[in-house]
Amino acid sequence: MAVEIFMPALSPTMEAGTLAKWLVKEGDSVESGDVIAEIETDKATMEVEAIDEGTVAKIFIDEGSEDVKVGEIIAVLAEEGEDVADVAAGSSSSASAAPAIAPTPNVETATPPTQAAAPQAAAPTVSVTQGDGNRIKASPLAKRIASQEGLDIAAIAGTGPNGRIVKRDVEAAIAAGGTATAAPSAAPAHTAAATSTPAKAPVSSEYGPHDDIPFREEKLSGMRKTIARRLTESKTTVPHFYLTVECELDSLLAQRKELNTKLADSGVKLSVNDFIIRASALALKKVPAANVQFAGDKMYWYERADVSVAVAVEGGLVTPVVRGADSKGLSEISKDVKELAGKAKDGKLMPEDYAGGTFSISNLGMFGIKEFSAVINPPQGAILAVGAGEQRAVVKDGALAVATVMSCTLSCDHRAIDGAVGAEFLAAFKGYIEDPLMMLL
């Protein structure tokens, strides 16, 4: 019996993915456990293994195909003793009986139905220069409407700023009985300019690209689409509030230097970020009301601090999780972070590496950012934004002094965490940062 291979769900939230690459071709023999394809999710590129042995009879989805739905048939195997051609023919007829799989349009750039009805050939009639080389000033929306109606935009008088042709001018021309195609004798210079100027595709809105500014168009990756969707959801549905604290780092830097000297032979080199993760995890244990998640008519209180660490990768951001950071020492945290960051940058994170997490940290200190506010990573209740440690003037015992100071801003979901709880967490965090020996107990 033929073995159907389906698009797998490689993470709890995955609904579709990109079939990045086939590692087999039709006619190849495979065994159970052989890697047959690479699938791109919004987090990483992952390998798909064959769950049975047989011969690849038919591949339905070409490599590079985007938005392949979870559960979609992507290939079929012929088992031992089966005729490969018969299996391929049978699977093809079965597939053809189902609705055709059409690529999902990019909703950000999809052409509206009214625009699609206009023939593309109308675009060249939109003049952008006059016969004497002077540029026609018109909004992108006005150009699009003129293109749809077959009007020569250069023949329309503009009432916008500095004579710019805007939507109401084109609509007025249409209402006045503008013809579908401008008469050649009425504006020969304009027609000549139009035929000699490359056609420009009409933009989908008034806020599209401007003709006088060079640009390139790039389709969103799955990762970028997910970031856009999730963070838009976060900022529009989660009531954020922000608390900032300044921590002195001199004791921590001295302690880090001493520990790294002792760890030199082990290959472990502690970073300031390792201390920040440890301090955050211990502060969450000390203030459990900050290690929570809002869930509609209930709250989840977590008894373990699983800290998500934001890692910048090509095309976006991922947040691998240091599990049980409250029960791990600095050396173990350092090893975990380096391993997870390496997998993230290689696109090899597994779902268990980034799923979950009870709290997030975003550190831009290495880029020289003094202070910023981060967007909460839903469904978590808070995220800590960490700035650069820099020497600043401080007052100690009534006198000016210099200290290395780091600004940290906590973004909280006010449905789950109140101001007093956020302040209590930051006080605990600051205590661990400024007295790092307490982290070692």
Q: Which residues are catalytic?
A: 414
Written as six digits, the tokens of 188 are 């020969």
**Beta carbons within 8 Å of 403's beta carbon, 6+ residues apart:** 248, 249, 250, 391, 392, 394, 396
Classified as helix, coil or strand, 194 is helix
In DSSP terms, which residues pair with 292 in a beta bridge?
A: 301
In DSSP terms, which residues pair with 298 in a beta bridge?
A: 295
Q: Which residue has the tokens 């967007």?
A: 375
Helix (H) or strand (E) segment spanning residue 331 = helix 330-345
**Beta carbons within 8 Å of 289's beta carbon, 6+ residues apart:** 301, 417, 421, 424
What DSSP string describes 87-107?
Answer: HHHHHHHHHHHSPP--PPP-T
Classified as helix, coil or strand, 126 is coil
Q: In this structure, are strands 359-363 and 307-309 parallel, antiparallel, or unpaired?
A: parallel
State phi, psi for 83 to the nearest 5 degrees: -80, 120
DSSP letter at 169 equals H
Helix (H) or strand (E) segment spanning residue 343 = helix 330-345
> Could you tell me the CA-to-CA distances from 211 to 106, 219, 324 in Å, in that order?
22, 19, 53
Residues 42 and 355 sit within 8 Å (Cβ to Cβ): no
Helix (H) or strand (E) segment spanning residue 36 = strand 35-40
Distance CA 253, CA 414 (A): 34
Distance CA 363, CA 163 (A): 49
Q: Where would I find the H helices in 238-268?
A: 250-262
Written as six digits, the tokens of 82 are 């089966």
Angle at CA of residue 159, ends 155 and 163, nearest 5°: 75
